[in-house]
Amino acid sequence: MSQSSAKPTALNRDHTAVIFIDLQLGTLTTIQSMDQLELKRNAIALAQVCTILQLPVIIAAADIMGDRGQVLPELIDRLPDAIRINHATNNSWETPDFVRAIEQTGCKTLVMAGLATDVGLCLPAISAVAASMHQEP
């Protein structure tokens, strides 16, 4: 079934996991394609949806030293049970702990949110599709 003819599925904790990628203080300041505060608010809103729907959450963070590498505190506050993974490459899917964390959720539908969509989000999304995961637009 092509993605254009696929029927949307309801998000539920039985088959949907949400993955936040590189939502860190240092990377947030590099974003120029949209208002940084709006981006941050959008991420917080998605975190609140995850909490309400009780969706499994993975927070993947680039391995950056110091405060610049700190995940947005608002995400940590709202998602205290999220699985946290550090990754060292642009494609977090190349980090075995990242893939294991996704597999442990048992979910095949992944909602991915991140900052650098052209690299940090695109590469793991392509890898997830190659691994037979389903991506929600």
Q: What is the value of pTM for the model shown?
A: 0.86
pLDDT band at 116 (very low <50, low <70, confident <90, very high): confident
Per-residue confidence (pLDDT) for residue 13, from 0 to 100: 86
* Per-residue pLDDT at 29: 80
Confidence check: pLDDT of 3 > 50: no
Map the chain to HEC letters: CCCCCCCCCCCCCCCEEEEEECCEHHHHCCCCCCCHHHHHHHHHHHHHHHHHHCCCEEEEEECCCCHHHCECHHHHHHCCCCEEEEECCCCHHHCHHHHHHHHHHCCCEEEEEECCHHHHHHHHHHHHHHCCCEECC
pLDDT tens digit sequence for 50-88: 999 999 999 999 887 766 688 999 999 999 999 999 998
pLDDT at 1: 37
Residues 86-98: tens digit of each pLDDT: 998 889 999 999 9
